[in-house]
Amino acid sequence: MTNFPDIPTEPNDQLIINNESGESVPVEESELLKLITIVEKSEDVRYKEIELVYVDEEEIVKINHEFLDRDYITDIITFRHDENDSQAIEGTLYCCAPRIAEQSAEFDDNMKTEFLRVFVHGLIHLAGHDDQTPKEKQLMTDLEDQYLEALKNSS
């Protein structure tokens, strides 16, 4: 595993970042940590340990097939490791860096914003939200927008 490129990181028990994708990732660790805090406060949860792993298309398909019996590329796959009734959430977010970059172009959005959106999407999943129905998807999108706006206003 390689370290998150171009970002000096301090040892941090709450957020562990690995970039196995070979792609440049346009976000800063400090922004990710701020998002964690914003979501914790709003969702009334605590994230004990979040592992953020950027992978390529081949790896995300492999994970998708092995664990979810799906055979396609997606931007993120979220796994919660603690007991769902735990006070401290532990999880892994597998993010497909090339897919996220493609989505930023498809949605005509800033690449950094799309990487942050996918990260916060994973945090919202870990907090207990789902996106299987149109209503759930809309709620998650609204929460993503709310948390990204809060991050923007915190700077």
Nearest in space to 117 (alpha carbons), one of 127, 84, 107, 6: 107
The C-alpha atoms of residue 146 and residue 124 are separated, in whole angstroms, by 12
Average pLDDT, the chain: 91
By CB atoms closer than 10 A (0-12, 13-18, 19+), residue 129 is middle
88 pLDDT more than 70: yes
Domains by residue range for the chain, with CATH: 15-154 (3.40.390.30)
**How far apart are the C-alpha atoms of 73 and 43, rounded to whole Å?**
29
The pLDDT tens digits of the residues spanning 112-154 come to: 999 999 999 999 999 999 999 999 999 999 999 999 999 999 9
pTM of the model: 0.90
